[in-house]
Chain A
Amino acid sequence: MSEPGSLPPKIMEDGPPPFLGSWKRVYAVVLLYLAVVIFGLYLFSSFYSL
């Protein structure tokens, strides 16, 4: 049990992501993925607009 009315326990320090080596690369992949998804939806819209 924690102390009465205590603050939440401290957690471990910032660590690297489990893949791609750095968080900056992970963020870049997410933003690239967004661009691909938007472009894919744009193509989808255009293809089926008769």
Chain B
Amino acid sequence: MRPLDWVVMFCWLVSIVSYGLWRGRRSGTVNEFLLAGKTMPWYAMGLSIMATQASAITFISTTGQSYVDGMRFVQFYFGLPVAMVLISATAVPIFHRANVYTAYEYLEKRFDAKTRALVSIIFLIQRGLAAGLAIYAPAVVLSVVLGWSDQVTTVLMGTLVVIYTATGGIKAVTWADVQQMMVIFAALILALVVAVNLMPPGVSFRDAVTLAGAMGKLRAVNTHFDWNDRYNLWSGLIGGAFLALSYFGCDQSQVQRYLTGKSIAQSRLSLLFNAMAKIPMQAFILFIGAMVFVFFLFERPPVIFHPVELGRAQSRPDFQSVEHRYQAAFDSRKQAATALLADRNDPAKLDRLRQTQQDFDGARGEAIRFVERTRGTAAFNDTNYIFLNFVTHYMPAGVVGLIVAVIFSAAMSAVSGEINSLATVTVIDVYKRHFQKSGSDRHYLWASRLATVFWGIYAMVFAGYGKGFGALIEAVNMIGSLFYGGMLGVFVLAFFFKNVTANGAFFGVFAGEAAIFAANRFTGISFLWYNVIGALVVIATGVIISAFAPAKNPKSAA
């Protein structure tokens, strides 16, 4: 980082906290603190929903994933528009008319207190875990760029987030997200322009796209169905839709966003805006990763992208042979890429390039196994460091600071949304429901602020466990998939199955969670299908139990 990068990064971080505090300065009641007084326009909610989901992980991990695996990860988002339409048509009007602070409050109106408590606890567990991972991501950035320890960077990030979230509530969170998303869009475009401009002389944008396509990095759609394949058209459309239904329909961190809308129509528009913008945005980020891959066809990338592990490996004499093989593989691949561009219709040259890529991957795999062997690590993964390495080594002064600042702010927006929703559920569904039912508005306002501080500290502590996960974005989605299926199932029962009883829903959730954990433990089914399995088991169990033990006075949906 050069002086200009530091200035850009510092100014951005100060401005984001200041803007959040200024926007949230009038959050003097519980309603304003948790729901922004229901005054939010659709574009603010829409950008905030997008910002909460597009955390720092999006930039660190998705670009790296594209470098390694191509653009096929985009299929994960194919079900999202379907889910948004279904939620707009069903959940949005139901939650608004139920006049609730949290989605789980509605479950008590429809079923009973124990179902509400169970789902609230599931949310607190899974969202608490995700908040820890989301705060760990910028710790990765800082530890690489600044050479600080993860603990220091985690506390710094967490403290900044807690300051504006605990002070201004959801208004501060939402408007800070709007500001952040605008700069994120600008930085993404800038990153692609710079990446393409950094290509060596003689390699045009069209050449770069051709090479990326030849190496399979632009293969975005796979129509072949396979239960065990994480990303194909069908897992994306069906599994992705179930995951998005769970996330946007049952997860308080998202539901709370569109509950702040000044009308049902504004809330719907915010979701439909996401439905249309999300896939192009993710495809764009993945495309940047593919361009970084092409850039590294001509510029030698480090054999290990994790700088600390690379330095450690290079200090050992027996690593030299690994590096020699890697250098030779890189030279051969570079020659083959240049030869293909000279005559792109020659199949022999294409085969040659693919062969050299296999040799290159083999050499890098040898280096990774070296790290695993010498560190005693079971599965070493440096995917999250690929884009960071490119940014910090090749981007011009100022742009590095901007992109690092964007990664910071993306993480801050995700974490602020998460601790804000965790605090809301803690106060509304746990504290107010079970411990202090008749406090003053001021009492609950301060309880919400204290709960925000508590969850901020919790996230910082849990962030210490982030190192144990691989590519961070998959880890977050994996954790969500373990719990979301059960939550989705109980909301489907609440919305569409009028005869299902409270006991049917309550025990259905247990059955759904058991099915998900069994699928995770005993089968190789991709995690995107866990939501489908969990939701279907909850629904089936709830219907069967309710049929055999119907309620005397069943409640109906709002």
Which chain A residues have a beta carbon within 8 Å of chain B's beta carbons? Answer: 1-18, 23, 26-27, 30-31, 33-34, 37-38, 41-42, 44-45, 47-50
Contacts and interface: CB of A to CB of B under 8 A. Distances in A.
Given A33-B276, A38-B233, A41-B220, A11 B38 contact: yes
A42 B221 contact: yes
Given A31-B85, A42-B220, A5 B210 contact: no
A28 to B, nearest CB: 9
Given A23-B88, A23-B89, A41-B220, A49 B213 contact: yes
A34 B443 contact: no
Nearest to B340: A50
Interface in B252-274: 259, 261-265, 268-269, 272
Contacts, number: 122
Contact of B442 (A4, A31, A44): A4
A48 B210 contact: yes
Contact of A2 (B29, B82, B263): B29
B377 to A, nearest CB: 35
B13 interface: no
B545 interface: no
A6 B275 contact: no
Given A1-B441, A2-B30, A34-B81, A8 B35 contact: yes
A49 B432 CA distance: 58
A48 B212 CA distance: 8
Tell me the dominant secondary structure on chain A's binding face. Answer: loop
| Chain B interface size, under 10 / 10 to 19 / 20 to 34 / 35 or more | 35 or more
Tell me the dominant secondary structure on chain B's binding face. Answer: helix
B440 interface: yes
A50 B34 CA distance: 53
Nearest to A13: B264
Contacts of A33: 81, 276
Interface in B345-397: 350
10 closest cross-chain pairs (CB), A and B: A48-B213, A4-B440, A42-B221, A41-B220, A4-B441, A34-B81, A50-B214, A27-B85, A14-B264, A48-B218
Contacts of B243: none
15 contacts: A5-B441, A8-B38, A8-B101, A10-B99, A11-B261, A15-B265, A17-B268, A18-B265, A30-B276, A31-B82, A34-B78, A45-B219, A45-B220, A45-B221, A50-B210
A18 B41 CA distance: 13
A30 B218 contact: no
Given A11-B96, A27-B88, A30-B85, A50 B344 contact: yes
